[in-house]
């Protein structure tokens, strides 16, 4: 579904995809407020919050009044939060799923042919990497550059690989008799889904680590991770993660769209 | 007309607020953690917004705590200096416009006003001498400035432009932009519109502010446009409606006849098709179009089958109206290209469906949350109040007396509206009382004036034009007493409460057309070939042959050579002689239909009034009528139509535009005071003195000692 959603923006600048996602999130937000919001309560609480903020300035010479007004300000902020709770709960699920999917696409860059990356295998607690037979076999388009680095204190084994040829590549990891596979994206353009980590089949991993099949329940491996380069976004000359521009766009769209739709936020 | 620059400045303010808000949120977002911490949108947009409020409040609290010792020290030092010589913590002034001392004493004697009686016993009560003439804008200006009219320049509701003989509002000058750039049917203003207050001298709250003493002035008359000072102010009497008038209501009716302007508003004819009425609500003029045509909001009223209710669709909003019940305030947005909108609010009253459809709409008040022109100090004060207590009436004279006078509202509908407004203003007043711990809180209530104007005929032995309702005035006084009772419950040690009115009331039984009298006496000449019947604003007057004319409710002006464009009277000896002659004749005017009763008690000449720099702007003569008489509405508008004296059959049946000695106001004090005959212009210097500030020498009023005032002797009892 999300691949279909982002397919129109695969060929264009990543900002187009991020903007589309922010617009979708804004629509979801407004929909949640329309369905579950209490506009009267929200408007009243918001009016009081603004008024009390103004009062702090109006009565700055009256310390007792200012303290009283600050108390009222906190009380109405709580009222506002309570008034926003139903749409918030309604929104939490869909927006959470959307954000995980956005992180999958907007937080990392695929490996560029010629560059190196780490592959990290984390073992279940109690396992000692030094006592295990571990090997990594790179598929076509990848090279393994180092022998395994065993870190007993972290229950982790690392390898460095180098990307050679563009495409969805794989590495095969053998720990003792167990063999698992992890995909590695090399040289892909647009905003492909980049599952960095493959984890066990738990409900949190299903929610937060989408994109690849999960490790079997009895596996000695806790996760396999490919450390992709971070994708940074430039806003007014500042480099930042995708979340900041996304938030800004989401706020902007929500504020703009609430006016014609008359939705209290 | 709503000047465009006020709108533009309002929009600029809103845009800058939005920009500031977005910038703050942007800063928050820039500092947000990387993507793997799914806080923020993951927790929902709502949290972000409310967290903003929470963060700001916490930030304020934190900063306040950090700065607390320094602020406390600073406040202590400043407060010591400002309030060091102060005999009171707070002065609470309640202005009950038109509360009459005779009626108050009568009801107190009957035990109907327990709170005012208690105040009178504990502190004191006295009639309060009022201004010449005893008209609200004049008297309240004297209260504010401690001066008589010759120093504050307000002589009536209306002033006249001597260059054109035309009237103008005495208190404020509204001028549109002077230059325009024409672009076909459009035009662009090249200069700003101007709003100028015409009251001169310095109000006491400004003087207090200069000494570090804070005042909250609520709806005191002649405070528009609001003049910046160190305190809070909400403008009162003379704040216009969105159309720029002093209150133009709308009456939609299906009764036969053309649409026409009427006193105090417009009557609009509509056609009922089935259960639907389609019409529009005229708003402010669109200054960007030539001729400034009114912006109109389309309105649809769809009535229920039984006529007990209707769906009102106005613009893109929908409301339900119940027959006979006022709607709450409905916010209105009048779009004015390019991209600007004028915001106002009105209340709707569906009066009937059969035999005629009748819908009343109040004048379009400025929305206090987003006023189209400034109505408060600081500018955001009105917005703050509206957000805390909800929308409230902002029009200077909000009670629509004309609608009752013209039979558009019933007595009960008028009262419902008046007391609704009154409750809104009470909420503002009590909120200020709750917040302000030191300084002055002053609030003006126009309700007693409006109700007495319209219901005085019911008081015995009045002629009672309608079914007798003598209880209305009594109920009014009881309500005001109740207000005082609730105020006394909020009283703190160190408070001085004073309840006062600007004038009293007397019945208005006989109306006098002063211009017709001047014409009959040969002082005002009408053109032979002029209009067939007398018209407004001196349309048929032969100015070169006219020596004197009357404009407004009490004044007679000479047509002076060199001052008026077609003056016929030489200044100096001739003018002085003429004024004496007119005054003598006026004082001899008798009402033959009433057994030769003298109509005028005194005709007050300039030299009999206190001098001041603006004395020349006032009328040469102020007519002090005997109780029962008043200048006719026609004469006030420059119509010289006979008869000179006639019965007043209007609902407007009580008045105060007579000899000031006939209509003093009331003065109740919570503390004993030492003054046998206080005057309204003594209040400002008394307040200044209580705060340890010497009243400036230009004030005409004299401070009187109040208990606790170290500068004067503690009063042993009331006057």
pLDDT by residue (tens digit) across B463-505? 544 557 889 999 999 999 999 999 999 999 999 999 999 999 9
- Inter-helix orientation angle B471-489/B101-109, to 10°: 80
Q: Is the pLDDT of residue B9 over 50?
A: no
Give the integer Cα–Cα distance in Å for B130 and B502. 6
Chain B interface mutation, best of A247, A253, A260, A264, highest count of B Cβ atoms under 10 Å: A247
Residue B448 token pair = 């007693």
Nearest-CA residue of chain B relative to A108?
B35
Domain ranges of chain B: 89-154+199-240+373-505+663-719, 251-363, 512-650
Question: Mind giving me the DSSP string for B80-100?
Answer: HHHHTT-S-SEEEEEEETT--
- Strand order through the sheet with B272-273: B272-273, B276-285, B294-303, B309-314, B317-322
Give the integer Cα–Cα distance in Å for B203 and B220. 11
Residue B3: pLDDT band by 50, 70, 90 thresholds?
very low
Domain ranges of chain A: 2-107+237-261, 116-226
Exposed, middle or buried: residue B129 (CB in 10 Å: 0-12, 13-18, 19+)? buried
- How are beta strands B555-558 and B548-551 bridged, if at all? antiparallel
Work out the average pLDDT over B373-395: 97
Chain A interface mutation, best of B18, B45, B431, highest count of A Cβ atoms under 10 Å: B45
Residue B345 token pair = 């609010």
- Note whether B57 contacts A70, CB cutoff 8 Å: yes
Nearest-CA residue of chain A relative to B19?
A252
Give the integer Cα–Cα distance in Å for B501 and B482. 16
Architecture of domain B89-154+199-240+373-505+663-719: 3-Layer(aba) Sandwich (3.40)
Residue B532 token pair = 């067939």
Give chain A positions within 8 Å (CB) of B385: 51
- Note whether A251 contacts B381, CB cutoff 8 Å: no
Considering CB atoms only, which of B38, B44, B435 is closest to A88?
B44
CB pairs under 8 A between A and B: 155
- Note whether B42 contacts A49, CB cutoff 8 Å: no
Residue B13: pLDDT band by 50, 70, 90 thresholds?
very low
Give strand pairing partners of B535.
Answer: none
Exposed, middle or buried: residue A128 (CB in 10 Å: 0-12, 13-18, 19+)? exposed
> With contact defined as beta carbons under 8 Å apart, do A135 and A179 qualify?
no
User: Is B229 touching A (CB cutoff 8 A)?
Assistant: no
Nearest-CA residue of chain A relative to B434?
A65
Work out the average pLDDT over B81-91: 89
Considering CB atoms only, which of A47, A48, A92 is closest to B44?
A92
User: Is B65 touching A (CB cutoff 8 A)?
Assistant: no
pLDDT by residue (tens digit) across B571-617? 999 999 999 999 999 999 999 999 999 999 999 999 898 889 999 99
Residue B529: pLDDT band by 50, 70, 90 thresholds?
low
**Quick one: pLDDT at residue B5?**
37
CA distance A63 to chain B (A): 8
Q: Is the pLDDT of residue B125 over 50?
A: yes
Nearest-CA residue of chain B relative to A87?
B46
Architecture of domain A116-226: Sandwich (2.60)
> With contact defined as beta carbons under 8 Å apart, do B599 and B629 qualify?
yes
Nearest-CA residue of chain B relative to A93?
B42
Is the preceding omega at residue B461 within 30 degrees of 0, hence cis? Answer: yes
Exposed, middle or buried: residue B139 (CB in 10 Å: 0-12, 13-18, 19+)? buried
> With contact defined as beta carbons under 8 Å apart, do B324 and B222 qualify?
no
CA distance A222 to chain B (A): 19
Residue B177 token pair = 């932009």
Give the integer Cα–Cα distance in Å for A228 and A195. 10
- Name residues 32-61 of chain B within 8 A of A (Cβ): 32-36, 38, 40-50, 53-54, 56-57, 60-61
Residues 6 or more apart in contact with residue B262 via CB below 8 angstroms: B251, B402, B406
CA distance B435 to chain A (A): 6
CA distance A85 to chain B (A): 8
**Quick one: pLDDT at residue B715?**
40
**Quick one: pLDDT at residue A47?**
94
CA distance A108 to chain B (A): 10
Cα–chain center distance at B351: 27
| pTM, two decimal places | 0.82
Give the integer Cα–Cα distance in Å for A73 and A175. 59
Segment of A127-141, B113-127, B156-170 carrying the highest mean pLDDT: B113-127
User: Is B166 touching A (CB cutoff 8 A)?
Assistant: no
Q: What percent of chain B has pLDDT over 70?
A: 87
**Quick one: pLDDT at residue B29?**
41
Residue B666: pLDDT band by 50, 70, 90 thresholds?
very high
- How are beta strands B158-161 and B166-169 bridged, if at all? antiparallel
Q: Is the pLDDT of residue B351 over 50?
A: yes
DSSP 8-state class, residue B663? S
Q: Which residue has the higher pLDDT, B713 or B85?
A: B85
**Quick one: pLDDT at residue A29?**
92
Residue the block writes with tokens 């209260």? B143
Q: Is the pLDDT of residue B132 over 60?
A: yes
Give chain B positions within 8 Å (CB) of A103: 35-36, 38
- Note whether B44 contacts A62, CB cutoff 8 Å: no
Q: Is the pLDDT of residue B36 over 60?
A: no
Residue A90 token pair = 């309604």
Chain A interface mutation, best of B15, B35, B89, highest count of A Cβ atoms under 10 Å: B35
Give strand pairing partners of B303.
Answer: B310
Q: Is the pLDDT of residue B646 over 70?
A: yes
CA angle B637, B642, B648 (to 5 degrees): 70
CA distance A254 to chain B (A): 9
* pLDDT, mean over chain B: 88
**Quick one: pLDDT at residue A50?**
94
Exposed, middle or buried: residue B516 (CB in 10 Å: 0-12, 13-18, 19+)? buried
Give the integer Cα–Cα distance in Å for B197 and B192. 16
CA angle B436, B442, B448 (to 5 degrees): 135
Q: Is the pLDDT of residue B12 over 50?
A: no
Residue B672 token pair = 């004993």
Cα–chain center distance at B103: 23
Q: What torsion, rounded to 10 degrees, do the Cα atoms A161, A164, A167, A170 define?
A: -30
Give the integer Cα–Cα distance in Å for B546 and B544. 6
Considering CB atoms only, which of A51, A85, A247 is closest to B384?
A51
CA distance B441 to chain A (A): 13
The ranges of chain A with pLDDT < 50 are none
Q: Which residue has the higher pLDDT, A7 or B26?
A: A7
User: Is B71 touching A (CB cutoff 8 A)?
Assistant: yes
- How are beta strands B265-269 and A233-235 bridged, if at all? unpaired
Give chain B positions within 8 Å (CB) of A50: 387
pLDDT by residue (tens digit) across B392-405? 999 999 999 999 99
Question: Mind giving me the DSSP string for B494-524?
Answer: TEEEEEE-S---EEEEEEE-HHHHHHHTTSS
Considering CB atoms only, which of A70, A241, A251 is closest to B35?
A241
- Name residues 392-451 of chain B within 8 A of A (Cβ): 435-438
Residue B716: pLDDT band by 50, 70, 90 thresholds?
very low
- Give the H/E segment covering residue B156: none
Considering CB atoms only, which of A47, A69, A107 is closest to B387?
A47
CA distance A105 to chain B (A): 11
Residue the block writes with tokens 């006592």? A131
Q: What torsion, rounded to 10 degrees, do the Cα atoms B613, B615, B616, B619 define?
A: 160
Give the integer Cα–Cα distance in Å for B640 and B538. 8
DSSP 8-state class, residue B41? G
> With contact defined as beta carbons under 8 Å apart, do B559 and B546 qualify?
yes
């Amino acid at each position: 579904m999300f691949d279909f959603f982002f397919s129109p923006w695969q060929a264009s600048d990543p900002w187009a995809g991020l903007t589309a996602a922010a617009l979708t999130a804004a629509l979801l937000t407004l929909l949640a407020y329309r369905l579950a919001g209490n506009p009267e309560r929200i408007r009243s609480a918001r009016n009081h919050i603004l008024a009390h903020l103004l009062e702090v300035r109006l009565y700055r010479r009256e310390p007792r009044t200012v303290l009283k007004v600050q108390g009222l300000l906190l009380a109405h902020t709580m009222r506002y939060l309570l008034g926003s709770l139903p749409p918030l709960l309604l929104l939490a699920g869909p927006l959470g799923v959307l954000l995980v999917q956005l992180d999958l696409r907007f937080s990392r860059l695929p490996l560029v042919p010629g560059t190196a990356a780490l592959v990290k295998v984390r073992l279940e607690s109690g396992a000692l990497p030094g006592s295990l037979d571990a090997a990594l076999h790179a598929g076509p388009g990848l090279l393994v550059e180092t022998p395994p680095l065993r870190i007993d204190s972290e229950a982790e084994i690392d390898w460095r690989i180098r990307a050679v040829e563009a495409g969805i590549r794989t590495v095969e990891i053998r720990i003792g008799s167990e063999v698992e596979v992890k995909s590695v994206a090399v040289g892909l353009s647009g905003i492909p889904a980049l599952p960095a980590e493959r984890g066990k089949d738990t409900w949190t991993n299903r929610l937060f680590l989408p994109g690849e099949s999960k490790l079997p329940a009895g596996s000695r491996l806790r996760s396999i991770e490919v450390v992709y380069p971070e994708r940074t976004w430039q806003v007014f000359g500042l480099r930042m993660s995708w979340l900041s521009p996304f938030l800004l766009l989401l706020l902007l769209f929500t504020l703009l769209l609430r006016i014609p739709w008359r939705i209290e936020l | 007309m709503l000047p465009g620059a006020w709108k533009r400045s309002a929009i600029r303010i809103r845009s800058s607020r939005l920009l500031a808000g977005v910038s703050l949120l942007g800063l928050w977002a820039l500092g947000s953690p990387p993507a793997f911490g799914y806080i923020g949108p993951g927790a929902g947009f709502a949290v972000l917004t409310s967290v903003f409020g929470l963060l700001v409040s916490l930030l304020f609290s934190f900063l306040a705590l950090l700065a607390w010792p320094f602020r406390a020290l600073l406040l202590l030092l400043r407060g010591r200096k400002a309030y060091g010589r102060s005999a009171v913590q707070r002065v609470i002034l309640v202005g009950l416009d038109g509360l009459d001392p005779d009626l108050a004493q009568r009801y107190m004697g009957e035990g109907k006003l327990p709170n005012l009686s208690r105040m009178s016993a504990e502190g004191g009560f006295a009639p309060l001498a009022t201004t010449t003439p005893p008209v609200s804008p004049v008297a309240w200006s004297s209260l504010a400035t401690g001066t008589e009219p010759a120093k504050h320049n307000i002589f009536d509701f209306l002033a006249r432009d001597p260059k054109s003989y035309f009237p103008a509002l005495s208190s404020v000058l509204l001028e549109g932009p002077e230059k325009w750039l024409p672009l076909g049917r459009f035009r662009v203003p090249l200069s700003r519109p101007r709003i100028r207050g015409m009251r001169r001298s310095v109000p006491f709250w400004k003087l207090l502010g200069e000494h570090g003493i804070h005042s909250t002035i609520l709806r005191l008359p002649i405070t528009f446009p609001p003049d910046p000072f160190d305190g809070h102010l909400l403008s009162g009497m003379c704040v216009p409606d969105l159309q720029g008038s002093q209150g133009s209501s709308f009456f939609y009716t299906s009764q036969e006849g053309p649409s026409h302007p009427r006193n105090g508003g417009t009557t609009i004819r509509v056609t009922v098709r089935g259960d639907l009425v389609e019409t529009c609500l005229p708003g402010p003029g669109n200054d960007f179009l030539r001729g400034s045509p009114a912006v109109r909001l389309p309105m649809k009223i769809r009535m229920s089958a039984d006529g007990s209710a209707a769906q009102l669709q106005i613009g893109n909003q929908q409301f339900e109206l119940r027959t006979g019940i006022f709607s709450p305030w409905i916010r209105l947005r009048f779009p004015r290209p390019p991209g600007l909108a004028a915001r106002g609010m009105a209340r709707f009253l569906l009066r009937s469906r059969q035999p005629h459809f009748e819908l009343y709409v109040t004048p379009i008040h400025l929305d206090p949350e987003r006023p189209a022109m400034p109505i408060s100090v600081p500018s955001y004060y009105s917005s703050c109040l509206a957000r805390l207590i909800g929308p409230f009436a902002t029009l200077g004279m909000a009670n629509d007396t004309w609608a009752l006078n013209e039979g558009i509202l019933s007595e009960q509908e008028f009262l419902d509206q008046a007391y609704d407004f009154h409750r809104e203003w009470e909420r503002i007043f009590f909120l200020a009382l709750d917040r302000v711990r030191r300084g002055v809180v002053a609030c003006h209530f126009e309700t007693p004036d409006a109700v007495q104007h319209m219901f005085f005929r019911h008081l015995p032995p009045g002629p009672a034009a309608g079914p007798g309702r003598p209880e209305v005035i009594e109920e009014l006084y009881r309500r005001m007493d109740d207000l005082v009772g609730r105020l006394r419950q909020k009283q703190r040690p160190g408070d001085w409460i004073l309840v006062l009115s600007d004038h009293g009331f007397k019945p208005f039984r006989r109306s006098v057309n002063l211009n017709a009298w001047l014409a009959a006496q040969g002082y005002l000449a009408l053109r032979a070939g002029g209009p067939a019947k007398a018209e407004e604003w001196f349309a048929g007057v032969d100015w070169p042959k006219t020596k004197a004319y009357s404009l407004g409710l009490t004044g007679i002006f000479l047509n002076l050579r060199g001052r008026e464009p077609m003056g016929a009277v030489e200044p100096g000896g001739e003018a002085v002689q003429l004024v004496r002659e007119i005054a003598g004749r006026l004082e001899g005017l008798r009402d033959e239909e009433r057994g030769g009763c003298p109509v005028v008690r005194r005709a007050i000449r300039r030299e009999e009034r206190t001098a001041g720099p603006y004395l020349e702007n006032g009328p040469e003569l102020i007519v002090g009528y005997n109780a029962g008489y008043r200048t006719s509405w026609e004469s006030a508008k420059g119509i010289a139509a006979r008869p000179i004296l006639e019965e007043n059959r209007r609902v407007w049946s009580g008045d105060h535009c007579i000899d000031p000695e006939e209509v003093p106001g009331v003065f109740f004090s919570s503390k004993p005071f030492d003054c046998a005959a206080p005057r309204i212009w003594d209040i400002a210097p008394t307040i200044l003195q209580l705060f340890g500030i010497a009243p400036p020498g230009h004030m005409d009023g004299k401070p009187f000692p109040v208990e606790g005032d170290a500068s004067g002797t503690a009063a042993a009892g009331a006057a």
